[in-house]
Amino acid sequence: MGLLYSEAKVEVIDGKEIMMSPPAFSNHNYVKDNVFSIFKNYLKGSICVPHADGRKVALPSQTKGDYLVPDFFVLCDRSKIKPDGIHGSPDLVVEVLSPKTVKADRGRKKDLYQENGVKEYWIIDPDIKSIEVYLLKDGVYDLDEIYRIPCPKTDDDPENTVASFSVNLLPDLVVTLEDVFEYVNLWE
């Protein structure tokens, strides 16, 4: 098996296989598909390439044989694309939280992205409809902003919410939170 796609949604971090498949019909999958669509439409004809879930990424500092499978990422250096996957650091990575991945997404994976120079890292929580944007500054992630859609049941401070924001890596791209969270919680 080559590096290109992860058939069973497995990552190998520090030599350990980690299973990470959310149900096919889930808020997690709606969000990652929505993010891919937003970037795919914007990047059409660009040197930068959007990559959907399933593409394996071998970061420079990882042990040989280790790889990550981000929910979504943008790669602007096409020389890192090899027949068996991505060899090198993406420019922007998005991870969508799920109960099985929250610890790794906020912990070891975030550390790996940081130490390997991923310029922008998003953590999206579909349950509370929030996006945390981390920017790499002097080799360390700095929480730039948290964007969220207000929840009428629990939010009494609408000033702490926004409808859209510009992507740091691609300043002309304005992301609308309604687009990111479209179809989330259809069953409510």
pLDDT confidence bin for 99, thresholds 50/70/90 = confident
d(CA 103, CA 30): 21
- Please name which of 16, 13, 103 lies closest in space to residue 61, comparing C-alpha atoms: 13
Cβ neighbours for 169, distance < 8 A, ≥ 6 positions apart = 74, 91, 92, 119, 120
pLDDT digits 0-9 by tens, 145-187: 999 987 655 555 555 567 899 999 999 999 999 999 999 986 5
Percent of the chain topping pLDDT 90: 66
The hierarchical CATH code for the domain 10-180 is 3.90.1570.10
d(CA 97, CA 123): 7
Cβ neighbours for 14, distance < 8 A, ≥ 6 positions apart = 63, 66, 108
The first and second tokens of residue 86, run together, are 């991505």
Alpha-helical (H) ranges within 93-139 are 102-106, 108-115
Using only C-alpha atoms, what is the Rg of the chain? 16
pLDDT given at position 22: 55
pLDDT given at position 6: 43
The first and second tokens of residue 95, run together, are 């991870």
Pairing of strands 92-96, 120-125: parallel
pLDDT confidence bin for 47, thresholds 50/70/90 = very high
If phi > 0 it is left, if psi is from -120 to 50 it is alpha, else beta; for residue 129 that is: left
For the chain, domain boundaries: 10-180
* pLDDT averaged over every residue in the chain: 87
